[in-house]
Amino acid sequence: MAKSTRTSVRQPQPPLVVQDQQPPKKPINLTAWIFLAMAFGIASGLFIGEYAVNLKFIGDVYVGLMQMTVLPYVVFSLIGNIGRLSVREVGLLATSGLKIFLGLWATAAITVLLLSQAFPDLTTGQYFSSTMVDPPPKLNWLNLFVPSNPFRSLADNSVPAVVVFCILFGVAIIGFEEKRSLLDHIGLITRTLHRVNGYVVKLTPIGVFGICAHAAGTMSFSEFERLQAYYLTFGASVILLTFVILPLLVTVYTPFTYRQVISAAKDALLTAFVTGSVFPVIPLLIEGVNRLYADHFRKDARHSDFPEFILPLAYPFPDSGNVIDLIFIPFAAWFLGDMMGIGDELFMVGAGFFLLFGKVFLTIPFLLNSFHIPQDMFQLFLAAGVLAARVGDILSSMHYLVFTVLTTAAMTGLLKVRLSRLFWAVGLALAIILPVILGIRYALTHIGNDEHGTETTLDRRDLLEKPVFTSLVAQAAPNPVPLKPGQNRLERIKQRGLIRVGYRPDNLPYTYFNQEGKLVGLDIDLVTRLARDLNAGIEFVGFRSETLAQQLADDHFDMALSGLTDSLERSSVMLMSEPYLVVNMALLVKDHQRSEFEDEEKINRRKRLRIGVVKGSYFEKRTLDHFPDAQIDRLDSPRQFFEEGWRELDALAMHAESGAAWTLVYPAYTVVNPLQRRDSAPVSLAIAGFDIVLDDTLNTWITLMKMDGTLDKLFDHWMLGKNTKPKEPRWSILRDILHWVQFSSRQPA
């Protein structure tokens, strides 16, 4: 019984398990997951190479979800934050706070403009693009800034108009005594949107993985090298503003020293970098400001609460860290081989002032579209921004600290300009900024001017069509087989099995000799297809513009080509086929003079203007119509424009499509369109002897080539530079080390 009792009594167990149990592991935070996703994405892209294109949709979905809540959050956040202000706080914000905010914003914008000058001019030509002839984008400033229909502004993502509406709405709420209930509802909606955004933020590692994998798998190593330009300029901007310009502003307008400012900010700056967010460091920023004003607050305790409500007032507004993101726009233009003018950059920072209320997810795509930069560059911005955003948070933290310090000084009477410090600060800033810009420009010159093969690509280009028998007639002469009575040229072509074709030997990209001495070009490809369809070979006979009509009449060839533009004068002396291409008038000028030739009225105000045109070109007469006071010089070939004897010419008027090809050979020149409207001309084949039968046949054949996509394929190949050679695969572990797959000219879907 006793034994039973002893066994039935539950004895306390020694806490052996508790003693041996390991402390619970701390879960990985979101920041760590983001960096792991970035590393895994880059590794995956390097492993599978161009197959990473299939992962692009992951990044697209993530970006779309992030953009989903941005504009609604801006609406309710702005209205709620402004509506909660008192009349006194509004007065403070509208006087001292607003001035200081605009001053800091302008300082950051000027830094962006200065650092954007670090991008060196790229001496490389570029293939034809519709942006060369499209009129410059025209924004409807009324719709952009005036919310005549706020719902349409919301639907159109017109952020400036939405911001104006929210500010007016918020200010109107201030005067109502019963605003509490409305503000509570607005606050609830804002918190709800913040929670929804929080759900999406949890997907950030997945989105970062897709973006980084796609970039690492599809971007060439030369493009990665040029991405260094963004990191250099962005990093330099952050360092200059955070540790030089903004602290020096405080020393100029307040009694605090540079060392005191950095000491007050250092904890917040470090924490912002580690956490990747500015919001958690707001208490540290307020604490830093209180340390600076400790002596003053002891003397006048009435001012001790200023930092606690001044800093939150600034939080909903764009900060210097947001402004620095704008430097991606001139970088993107430079990355694609173009350069933004100072006018474009001023528009960028001006529009950015309002657009940044909608954050970068709306700002960058809007500006990319405004400057006709492909939207795919936004993916590159997001991939590069994984690291850049963390560095930018350091600048944002310094911005809020400086704003709070200066606004507090303005309210307490401590804000005044100290001239001795002003001259010293300006001199020091310039002494640092100018060498930084020159150093970056020097470094990027070696990154940006690498050989991309644009010049040699044109020389190495070959025909797309299958070859037929061809021969070059050394001396122009009539067809050795004269036409029989009643015979048309199509019958003679079928009888001989040969088409005689007139061509100009130096007319890029229509007819020219490549580096192998082979006659190539868009028109050569086109007539090769014609010969194959007629089961014939080709005899090429050279001509000059001034001899074309006579050679056609003398039966030197059945037809002539080489980018011949149709005109009333030309049609009166020769039969022209249906157009197979439409080209656009433009000017070819030196790169550094581009801004001087972008406006027709500005060009006409130039004195002693000289413009070259190719003899027989349709645009010869149109050049006089557009520039009646210019001296027109008629050239035998566009190449003369680049020779020493013709350097006094200001510009060459020609097809934009052909001009782009010449910039590949002479990269110091560029194509500009100064016309406010397109001035187009048809390109046709010239038919000898007014032969109606041959003309009808060619017209039918050209229609068929348009309908089956042949002409589009040739245009892409010769004008746009696509498919110039089989695309080499990006290096990948899957192919180049493991050899699990072989390269195919067919790209992954």
How is 72-104 classified by DSSP, letter by letter?
A: HHHHHHHHHHHHT--HHHHHHIIIIIHHHHHHH
530: confidence class by pLDDT, cuts 50, 70, 90: very high
Which has more pLDDT, 665 or 574?
574
Least confident residue range of 279-283, 585-589, 699-703 = 279-283
Question: Which of these three, 429, 452, 475, is where a domain ends?
Answer: 452
**Spatial distance between the Cα atoms of 695 and 718, rounded to a whole number of angstroms:** 25
490-517 confidence digits (pLDDT tens): 999 999 999 999 999 888 899 999 888 8
Residue 705 predicted with pLDDT over 90: yes
Decide if 112 is inside a domain.
Answer: yes
Same domain, 517 and 465: yes
The confidence score (pLDDT) of residue 358 equals: 61
Averaged pLDDT for residues 733-739: 76
If one compares 356 and 551, the residue with the highest pLDDT of the two is 551
Which residues constitute the domain of residue 664? 581-682
Q: Do 243 and 262 belong to one domain?
A: yes
The answer on 357 and 239 residing in a single domain is yes
Least confident span in 87-91, 312-316, 471-475:
312-316
Q: Given a cut of 50, is residue 736 above it in pLDDT?
A: yes
d(CA 535, CA 469): 10
Phi and psi (nearest 5°) for 685? -95, 140
Note whether residue 526 is domain-resident. yes
Q: pLDDT tens across 270-287, in order?
A: 777 755 667 667 777 888
pLDDT at 44 over 50: yes
Does one domain contain both 397 and 515?
no
**Lowest-confidence range among 106-120, 129-143, 190-204, 515-529?**
129-143
* Residue 325 scores a pLDDT above 70: yes
Share of the chain above pLDDT 70, in %: 82
Residue 322 has pLDDT above 90, yes or no: no
Residue 552 phi/psi, 5° resolution? Answer: -65, -45
pLDDT higher than threshold 80 for residue 29: no
Assigned domain for 733 exists: no
Top pLDDT among 81 and 179 is at: 179
- Residue 411 inside a domain? The answer is yes
Q: What is the pLDDT of residues 603-624, one digit of tens each?
A: 888 888 899 888 877 788 888 8
- Coil, helix or strand at residue 687: strand
What does the pLDDT read at residue 12?
45
Give the pLDDT confidence of 398-408 residue by residue, as tens digits.
998 999 899 88
User: Which range is least confidently modeled, 302-311, 635-644, 716-725?
Assistant: 302-311
- Any domain includes 541: yes
Q: Could you give the C-alpha distances from 202 to 199, 205, 208, 247, in angstroms and in order?
A: 5, 7, 11, 35
In a domain, 37, yes or no: yes
Q: What value does the mean pLDDT take over residues 68-74? A: 75
Query: Quick one: 150 and 199 in the same domain?
Result: yes
The mean pLDDT value for 442-466 works out to 67
H or E element that contains 512: strand 511-513
500 φ/ψ angles, rounded to the nearest 5 degrees = -95, 125
Give the span between the Cα atoms of 435 and 249, in whole angstroms: 20
CATH number at residue 133: 1.10.3860
Average pLDDT for 115-140: 68
Residue 275 maps to a domain: yes
Are 187 and 148 in the same domain?
A: yes
Q: What is the pLDDT of residues 370-387, one digit of tens each?
A: 787 776 677 678 767 766
Q: How confident is the model at residue 134 (pLDDT cuts 50, 70, 90)?
A: low
Has residue 741 got a pLDDT over 80?
A: no
Which backbone phi and psi does 590 adopt, to 5 degrees?
Answer: -70, 145
Mean per-residue pLDDT, 192-218: 80
Boundary-marking domain end, from 682, 709, 739: 682
pLDDT band at 687 (very low <50, low <70, confident <90, very high): very high
Do 150 and 73 reside in the same domain of the chain?
A: yes
Average pLDDT of the chain is 80
**Number of folded domains in the chain?**
3
Whether residues 695 and 573 share a domain: the answer is yes
**15 inside domain:** no
User: Which of 426, 452, 478 marks a domain boundary?
Assistant: 452
Q: List the CATH number of the domain containing 511.
A: 3.40.190.10
Please give the share of the chain, as a percent, with pLDDT higher than 90.
Answer: 19
Find the mean pLDDT for residues 143-160.
77
Q: Beta strands 581-590 and 537-542: pairing type?
A: unpaired
488 and 600 in a single domain? The answer is no
Cα 322–Cα 323–Cα 326 angle in degrees, nearest 5: 105
State whether 281 and 429 are in the same domain: yes
Residues 6+ apart with CB under 8 A from 632: 610, 611, 612, 613, 620, 623, 624
Above 90 in pLDDT, residue 315? no
What is the bridge-based pairing of β-strands 680-683 and 651-655? unpaired
pLDDT of residue 22: 54
Asked if 232 and 99 sit in the same domain, the reply is: yes
Q: Are residues 670 and 704 in the same domain?
A: no
Identify which has the larger pLDDT, 242 or 338.
242
User: What are the tokens at 56?
Assistant: 């692009």
